Amino acid sequence: MNHRFSRRRFLAGAMTASGAVLEPDVVLGQDAPQAGRTLDIHVHLFGKGDNGSNCRLLQGTAEGPLFECLSGKLRLRERAKTMDEAYVLALAEHVQQSNLDKVVVLAQDAVYDDGGRADWGKTAFYVPNDYLFEVVSRYPQRMIPCVSINPQRADAIDEMERCVAKGARVLKIHPPTQGVDLADERKYAPFFRRCAELRVVVMVHTGHEHSAPVVDIGLANPRKLVVALDHGCTVIACHCGTGRPSDRPDMLPDFLEMLRQHKNLWGDTSVLGGLGRGRDFLRLLAHREARERLLHGSDFPFPATPLAFVDTLGLKAAFGLQTIENSLQQDLALKDALGIGRASAERAYRLICGEAGQS
């Protein structure tokens, strides 16, 4: 993708600023044929603990410009007296008003010290598994829980077994922010063996991170997934090792090489529709084997930016997509316009729910 200034991109920005509106028939992805059932595999739950949720959010993050922008977009201050409840209501509204059949909602575990104890001073945000279960239980037809278990915690396997008993079949680990080296076989082979025995799908952040403090970006390399893969886990490399053009090192080639070596490895497209990762997204889409192993994910509430793809889609289509108000629907429609959205959303549903289903 051409990242230089272009007349087309200038006109797109001017049209956005002027509030121009296209006719509905140019909004792609809205009337796509409904074949198999669809799933968004990467939707975040957030909170700061103001309604008894036990969530945590660092003050600097809660008062930062990104959070303020997202808060305004989701109209959190209008929805409820607490931020936690307002976010749940916003999330539910977006899910229910989208064309998706289901979404996987993610918890977020803490950073742990060498003794396996939570280190709250180093934890940027935290969403406990029990709060996740409580929220998802309100919308069982549309939401699936993805628990978060940092394998460094002293009770990691016990917590996994507890969560599986409560219905979890997906878990998430975020190595660069949680400071965990998943390639340490001595420490983590028992954890991943148990994941495989319980048929728990393991989601792992890979690639660069820009919205939370990073302990060590090297921990996000897709090659770190080898222990989990070798012990039989089905692993989803969130973001496929991607980054912005200026990010170093370039981890996308490592993800592509791991795909060739491990048939139990998948990648999700979360955040790839956002500003900055367009180049890597197009590199992924140009790779035939990668296209067949991609699962749809939005990274909600972080928005897609269709206008970032104006050089690929054209001005009319990109602006039409930009006018879609529902963030989940917009992200799916953008990826559908890029030729991967619905196929990857149906593939995600089959992987997590075990059936194709018909709508």
Query: 120-137, pLDDT tens digit by residue?
Result: 999 999 999 999 999 999
- What's the mean pLDDT in 87-92? 97
Question: CA–CA separation, 275 vs 271, rounded Å?
Answer: 8
pLDDT at 65: 78
The dihedral sign for the CA sequence 218, 244, 148, 347: negative
For residue 114, what are its two tokens? Answer: 């060498």
The residue among 203 and 67 whose pLDDT is bigger is 203
- CATH (one of 3.80.10.10, 3.40.630.190, 3.20.20.140, 3.40.640.10) for 7-11+35-353: 3.20.20.140
Residues 6+ away with beta carbon under 8 Å from 119: 110, 111, 112, 113
Is the peptide bond preceding residue 24 cis, with omega within 30 degrees of 0? no
* Cα distances (Å, whole numbers) of residue 80 to 83, 85, 130, 170, 320: 7, 6, 21, 30, 31
Does the structure show a pLDDT above 60 at 113? yes
Least confident of 107-111, 209-213, 252-256, 266-270: 209-213
The mean pLDDT of the chain is 89
> Predicted confidence band at 256 (pLDDT cuts at 50, 70, 90)?
very high
Q: What is the CA radius of gyration of the chain?
A: 19
